[in-house]
């Protein structure tokens, strides 16, 4: 019976593939399309198709049986993983079963890299270690023999996903490998639901095994691409707020703080937090609460430097609503943008016919399997954030999840995923016409060519690219046997073609900073060598009294409280805030769950909490703050408003400006930022200016007094800071 059934299944699959050849006559494409099929799993929380925590490979989160396919311009299909000997040939998906995701093609178009997990439980209630690992496929052309090999020297027993090739053919990918490789910190937990999360973007040189954390993320980075200008563009989850699991009066989640990040750290009953302000308004104070949650486009150079939101576009351009930080200053106001909003932008791709034009998916956080409305933005290098707008390519109703109590708008055209602009100007995407989240299990993502409706001007799904790829499978999840017979999802398309290799981008020293080095007779390269040897970066802020003119939610009439201190004040201001020190916070992985009293057994993993900067080499390099009573991790603000200091590299950092009392925050940073060893990073102010600041002035270009003082001290003392720190200290 089983053999007869399998023969029938194989015959059906062969029939489906044969249909592809005839189908090509109605949907010709310029190049082959590489894509994956995935088991249509119903779970939409921290599972394979979710917005976040989608990186894990256990069988309860990722169904088995999917494959890596290629569709040729004539419509014919090849199952590449099956041809290469991967995947189960039986209905039951056991030890040799697979799931695949995230294909990307090399610059010359001859090979592709993707992620795959091999194996699943072979018996009920049996758990096995499952991790997505990187594999490379060659022989993609018609008539060629496909070969798939595992990429050597990648992090083992870690989930490595979203790979792409950098300009030098090294591999960039997202991973849940701990920031410093320490097993006891695995997995890192996100700032929202405290679910395991990728730790950022990593670079691997497969020939040498050199592995570097290129970009660190506290709550996760996703789906990087290398654009035509050489920039790494990706989606980052920004959630720099206090721990919501810690807000329960009865401590239902048993949140606690470890003593530190080291292997020898122990749980404590302390669960205090110091930054940023609480999530809800502070009673008997003038402080509003801060709730902050978005998935925005970010960029970084290929050497990991200059991490920033894409072209500095951020909440004030796209988010929609920002509450003022203080209640008692009438000059502050809430931001309420009712148009041009994007709270989440996922699965970003660049249009090959329009360099600097990007499309992505605006989707809700839950209930649509990270599918929604296609959105376009134009953000080539040099395009000012204040001029960047969002163009909706489908109705806004497409980004909404509808339950049974909600009427579906008449203009709803479906949910879209994985948009891919083609080299001939057309676009394809994964699409489902299903609207209701109650029917999420019936989402039927199929790759479709899009067309433009002549009446609405919106893109809509037109012809399908395959006749449908169906399978009959069963697997243990591991507590129950899951069975399915039907079409698999078609996701993550990419064109298989040669492309021009973009430049390998790296950081450049700004003109004011170069002038400071020249004036102090310090060689920037010697400084970079020193920084790399000590795991440090050098951060310069030219004038922290300046803020972008759109940011009216935090105090913006600022004055440095020292003799001759500069100020930047808007016309008609009635209240000015004095600032004297800037205090930095480093993200320490010290928050755990499951411990409220001795005898409790903590859960695995740790969440990042902001702690006053205490990294040993950094404190030694900076020296003590000369201001009386200054708090730990702080540095003086110079009379010209500038700040310059050494910071630990590859660690999340945030900061706030303090009033002269050394305790009252005035302006808080709203993003975590990370710097690379040897990086010299400068910005014009605390909130960088797009066009004009709050006093209608352009961005600051002064030669920083603070930087000159730091360089002179470093030049004259030549402090030897070569340390051999443990992983826990780094």
Residue 728 pLDDT grade (very low, low, confident, very high; cuts 50, 70, 90): very low
Q: What digits encode the pLDDT tens for the residues 326-367?
A: 999 999 999 987 777 898 999 999 999 999 999 999 999 999
Shared domain check, 232 and 101: yes
Q: Which of 447, 468, 495 is a domain's end point?
A: 495
**pLDDT reported for residue 441:** 62
Give the structural domain span for 689: 511-717
The pLDDT of residue 488 is above 60 = yes
Residue 1 pLDDT grade (very low, low, confident, very high; cuts 50, 70, 90): very low
**pLDDT reported for residue 571:** 92
Shared domain check, 660 and 629: yes
The pLDDT of residue 729 is above 50 = no
The CATH number of the domain where 321 resides is what?
2.120.10.30
**pLDDT reported for residue 719:** 55
Q: Which of 495, 526, 561 is a domain's end point?
A: 495
Shared domain check, 557 and 449: no
From the CB of residue 125, how many other CB atoms can be counted at a distance below 10 Å? 9
The pLDDT of residue 252 is above 90 = yes
569 is a domain residue: yes
The pLDDT of residue 277 is above 90 = yes
Shared domain check, 518 and 470: no
Q: Is residue 347 within 8 Å of residue 223, measured between CB atoms?
A: yes
258 is a domain residue: no
Shared domain check, 171 and 53: yes
Q: Which of 69-78, 354-363, 400-409, 444-453 has the lowest mean pLDDT?
A: 400-409
Mean pLDDT calculated for residue range 234-251:
94
Q: What digits encode the pLDDT tens for the residues 586-617?
A: 999 999 999 999 999 999 999 999 999 999 99
266 is a domain residue: no
726 is a domain residue: no
Q: What digits encode the pLDDT tens for the residues 609-639?
A: 999 999 999 999 999 999 999 999 999 999 9
- 477 - beta bridge partners? none
Q: Phi then psi for 165, rounded to 5 degrees?
A: -90, 135
| Angle of CA points 246, 248, 249, to nearest 5° | 120
| Angle of CA points 595, 200, 586, to nearest 5° | 60
- DSSP, residue by residue, 410-471: TT---EEEEEEE-TTS-EEEEEE---BGGGGGG---EEEEEEE-TTT--EEEEEESSS--EE
625 is a domain residue: yes
729 is a domain residue: no
In Å, what is the CA distance from 10 to each residue of 36, 86, 158, 315? 19, 16, 34, 51
| Mean pLDDT, the chain, whole residue set | 93
Shared domain check, 559 and 440: no
Percentage of the chain modeled with pLDDT above 90? 88
**pLDDT reported for residue 405:** 83
Shared domain check, 532 and 490: no
Shared domain check, 199 and 345: yes
Shared domain check, 516 and 461: no
727 is a domain residue: no
642 is a domain residue: yes
Q: Which of 438, 460, 495 is a domain's end point?
A: 495
In Å, what is the CA distance from 598 to each residue of 81, 254, 266? 50, 12, 11
Shared domain check, 636 and 521: yes
Q: Are strands 577-579 and 558-560 parallel, antiparallel or unpaired?
A: parallel
**In the chain, how many domains are there?**
2
Residue 27 pLDDT grade (very low, low, confident, very high; cuts 50, 70, 90): confident
Shared domain check, 196 and 85: yes
Q: Is 120 left (phi over 0), alpha (psi -120 to 50) or beta?
A: beta
Mean pLDDT calculated for residue range 58-84:
97
Shared domain check, 641 and 595: yes
**pLDDT reported for residue 343:** 87
């Amino acid at each position: 019976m089983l053999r007869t059934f399998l023969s029938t299944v194989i015959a059906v699959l062969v029939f489906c593939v044969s249909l592809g050849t005839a189908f090509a006559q109605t949907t010709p494409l310029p190049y082959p399309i590489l894509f994956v099929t995935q088991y249509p799993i119903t779970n939409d929380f921290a599972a394979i198709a979710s917005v976040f925590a989608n990186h894990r490979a256990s069988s309860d989160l990722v169904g088995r049986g999917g494959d890596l396919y290629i569709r040729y311009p004539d419509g014919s299909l090849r199952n590449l993983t099956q041809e290469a000997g991967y995947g189960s040939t039986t209905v039951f998906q056991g030890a040799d079963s697979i799931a695949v995701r995230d294909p990307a093609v090399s610059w010359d178009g001859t090979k592709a890299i993707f992620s795959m997990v091999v194996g699943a439980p072979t018996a009920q209630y049996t758990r096995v270690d499952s991790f997505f690992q990187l594999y490379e496929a060659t022989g993609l052309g018609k008539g060629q023999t496909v070969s798939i090999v595992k990429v050597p020297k990648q992090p083992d027993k870690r989930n490595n996903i979203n790979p792409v090739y950098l300009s030098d053919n090294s591999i960039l990918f997202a991973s849940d490998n701990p920031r410093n490789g320490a097993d006891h910190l695995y997995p890192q937990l996100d700032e929202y639901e405290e679910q395991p999360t990728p730790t950022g973007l990593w670079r691997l040189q497969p020939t040498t095994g050199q592995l570097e954390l290129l970009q660190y993320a506290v709550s996760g980075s996703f789906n990087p691409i290398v654009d035509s200008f050489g920039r790494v563009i990706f989606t980052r989850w920004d959630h720099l707020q206090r721990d919501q699991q810690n807000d329960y009066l009865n401590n239902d989640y048993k949140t606690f703080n470890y003593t530190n990040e080291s292997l020898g750290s122990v749980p404590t009953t302390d669960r205090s937090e110091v930054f940023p302000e609480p999530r809800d308004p502070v009673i008997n104070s003038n402080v509003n609460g801060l709730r902050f949650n978005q998935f925005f486009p970010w960029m970084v150079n290929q050497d990991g430097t200059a991490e920033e939101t894409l072209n500095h576009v951020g909440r004030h351009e796209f988010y929609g609503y920002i509450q003022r930080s203080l209640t008692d200053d009438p000059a502050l106001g809430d931001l309420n943008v009712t148009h041009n909003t994007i709270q989440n932008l996922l699965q970003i791709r660049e249009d090959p016919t329009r360099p600097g034009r990007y499309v992505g998916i605006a989707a809700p956080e839950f209930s649509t399997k990270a599918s929604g409305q296609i959105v376009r933005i134009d953000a080539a290098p040099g395009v000012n954030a204040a001029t960047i707008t969002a163009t909706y390519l489908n109705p806004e109703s497409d980004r909404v999840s509808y339950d049974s109590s909600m009427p579906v708008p008449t203009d709803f055209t479906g949910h879209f995923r994985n948009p891919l602009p083609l080299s001939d100007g057309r676009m394809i995407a994964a699409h489902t016409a299903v609207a209701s989240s109650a029917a999420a299990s019936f989402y039927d993502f199929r790759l479709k060519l899009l067309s433009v409706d002549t009446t609405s001007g919106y893109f809509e799904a037109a012809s399908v690219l395959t006749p449908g790829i169906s399978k009959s499978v069963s697997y243990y999840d591991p507590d129950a046997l899951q069975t399915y017979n039907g079409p698999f999802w078609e996701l993550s398309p990419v064109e298989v073609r040669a492309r021009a290799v973009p430049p390998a981008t790296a950081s450049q020293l700004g003109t004011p900073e170069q002038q400071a080095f020249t004036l102090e007779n310090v060689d920037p390269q010697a400084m970079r060598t020193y920084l790399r040897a000590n795991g440090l970066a050098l951060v310069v802020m030219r004038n922290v009294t300046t803020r972008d003119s759109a940011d009216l939610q935090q105090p913006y009439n600022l004055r440095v409280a020292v003799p001759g201190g500069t100020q930047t004040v808007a016309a008609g201001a009635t209240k000015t805030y004095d600032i004297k020190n800037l205090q930095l916070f480093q993200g320490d992985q010290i928050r755990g769950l499951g411990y409220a009293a001795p005898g409790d057994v903590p859960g695995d993993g740790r969440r990042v909490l902001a702690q006053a900067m205490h990294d040993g080499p950094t404190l030694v390099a900076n020296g003590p703050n000369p201001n009386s009573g200054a708090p730990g991790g702080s540095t003086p603000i110079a009379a010209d408003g500038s700040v310059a200091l050494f910071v630990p590299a590859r660690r999340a950092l945030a900061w706030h400006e303090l009033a002269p009392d050394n305790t009252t925050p005035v302006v808080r940073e709203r993003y975590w930022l990370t710097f690379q060893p040897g990086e010299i990073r400068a910005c014009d102010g605390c909130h960088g200016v797009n066009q004009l600041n709050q006093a209608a002035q352009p961005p600051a270009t002064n030669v920083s007094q603070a930087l000159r003082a730091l360089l002179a001290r470093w030049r004259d003392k030549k402090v030897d800071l070569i340390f051999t720190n443990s992983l826990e200290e780094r």
